Amino acid sequence: TEDQLSTVVYTQVDTQNILATTTDVSTQTQGVHVVSRVVDGDTIEVTKNGIKEKVRLIGVNTPETVDPRKKVECFGKEASAYAKEILMNQKVTVVSDSTQDTRDRYGRLLAYVYREDGLFVNKHMIEEGYAYEYTYKAPYLFQKEFKEAQLKAQTEGKGLWAGVCE
């Protein structure tokens, strides 16, 4: 379903409604899927009715582990392992953001991902220090919150901000 969002001071998810902290942004709930593969910390594969779809998390970037043009970056393996731990075989709701393209240049669906228990995966990866905030072309719905989450993770020395990467 497509919804016009109004200002709300919290984020809540169920399979019918996504409420956010920004005014008048249209989101599209893509429905409930099962995570069938974790490519790395910012890309997953979901399956619904036997159809597989790669999903790139909006607003999130993790150190590289699978790009053949680049070496494995510091904390990339940890980010991928953590994403697998919290996402493999989990039911998730996939939600697009009208401020972003539907797909990236690699054909991946760009989306926010919410685990069945309500965990907002995109933000959680940043909060725990497994990812950093990433704005591609245009500001997105949760940009301010993700930047604040990154600053908090940096201040607390979590994950890739713990001084293990130079």
Any alpha helices (H) in 69-135, and if so which ranges? Answer: 76-87, 121-127
In whole angstroms, give the CA distance from residue 49 to residue 37.
Answer: 15
Q: Which two tokens stand for residue 147?
A: 């930047």
Residues recognised as catalytic? 56, 64, 108
In whole angstroms, give the CA distance from residue 19 to residue 137.
Answer: 23
Backbone φ and ψ of 135, nearest 5°:
-105, 120
Residue with tokens 């240049």: 105
If one counts every other C-beta atom within 10 angstroms of the C-beta of residue 165, the result is 12
In whole angstroms, give the CA distance from residue 129 to residue 159.
Answer: 4
Print burial letters for 38-53: b (CB count within 10 Å at least 16), e (below 16): bbbbbbbbbeeeeeeb
